[in-house]
Amino acid sequence: MKRMHVIISGRVQGVFFRARTRETALALKLTGWVRNLHDGSVEAIFEGDDKNVEAMLEWCREGPPHAIVKHVDADEKLYSGEFCDFRITY
């Protein structure tokens, strides 16, 4: 099991990035959260099966249609199992 803290920058707000991230994370059976940051980037925590977390990271490098992802900063952390679902936070 893996936990990944991710910051995605580029044109990632106003293009349904959070909503599509949640849909994709749920489809991959991941838990955690996603939110917009004040600097225009998106931050997320993903927890789950190693291969599903890696698949989510690959998705983040593309994002939804109309997103322009310039950089993904991914930092692996210790898996905690603290989440029961995947949410959009504010």
Active site residues per annotation: 18, 36
Strand partners, 34: 44, 88
Angle (nearest 5°) at CA 89 between 87 and 25: 30
DSSP-derived letter for residue 78 is: -
Amino acid at 60: C
